[in-house]
Structure 1
């Protein structure tokens, strides 16, 4: 089912300059404090207003439970997890595998997906399901932590769309994902 989906899937995530999305214990205070120093919401509200579904794994979902109010009130939230009990939270739909998730999103008529959390992002990248990636780099080096990227099954070619510099040295870049059939080596260059 890779690459065969009727919706767009976008990543919007913050990282340390050395590519970590959280400390090893999941702490993101370094991200939220530096992000606040940058001023504004760094385009998050505009981004979230343009999506109808949020997909995340258990590792992102469980910390989100502490937010009050629930940040995805008007969005469909799908959690990709083999261990989370289905039906315990009426705000989310739990899917056991990627194919079931894609079927569920397709049946719902999903148009635009926010893919959140390192492991879920890597799963979507491996399956060829990500259309756009926005990475907000915060000027801090953690040295260790939870990486945004890891094994993704091969090169993922990107096309730069924009870069914006915010206060406090925060830099946000957006890339389109170049599909294999659109790769210049295949004789054509596609618009992502």
Structure 2
């Protein structure tokens, strides 16, 4: 059985998006600041990053079997054009599944029964691989429910000042972490992984 992980590109002051969903050009600049090409599950999206970040990304892809995201991210990205860039089935936690899509196919599965049900469905899909959770409300709900095993931070040297924190309004606090259990230095990003103490 794989682990349940969450990860995000984050500013030094703790934000995964700036005010009014800004700042992504700064947070995601490491996806394009090198010369190693990384194709994704989206045919029109190829990253060009450094060797260190490329190795980190490849390991992440190889070990991830399914994702859990919220409806807000699904809508904001316009469903990534039909397939998540990580090229795995994505479980979307929502109160209102879209009427124009099936509830489940190889690209997206919609779950309405809460974070525990969404993570359980993703684990079923992932098999022996890891389940990845997006940051923000999904990460916070899963951490509050005791479902998260590891937290990855792609720490970007920028201060956004305000916006969406990685873990907004945690109900369970403090949460102690072990590590970093992995530290990879890229260009304009440091990839850190921590284990959640349970």
Shorter-chain TM-score: which interval? 0.7 to 0.9
Deviations 1:37-64 (A, max 9, x none): 3643822232022111111101222233
User: Could you say which residue in structure 2 is the equivalent of 1:95?
Assistant: 111
CA contact (8 A) 1:11 1:134 kept: yes
Distance 1:66 1:157, change over 3 A: same
1:42-191 counterparts in 2 under 5 A? 42=53, 43-65=56-78, 67-68=80-81, 70-72=83-85, 74-85=87-98, 88=101, 90=105, 91-96=107-112, 97-105=114-122, 107-108=124-125, 110-111=127-128, 112-152=130-170, 153-160=172-179, 161-168=181-188, 170-179=189-198
CA distance in 2, matches of 1:108, 1:32: 28
CA distance in 2, matches of 1:105, 1:34: 28
1:10-49 counterparts in 2 under 5 A? 10-27=5-22, 28-37=24-33, 39-40=49-50, 42=53, 43-49=56-62
CA contact (8 A) 1:122 1:151 kept: yes
User: Could you say which residue in structure 2 is the equivalent of 1:186?
Assistant: none
Q: Give 1:109 deviation, angstroms.
A: 6.5
CA distance in 2, matches of 1:73, 1:147: 23
Gaps of 5+ in 2: 35-48
* Aligned residues between the structures: 173
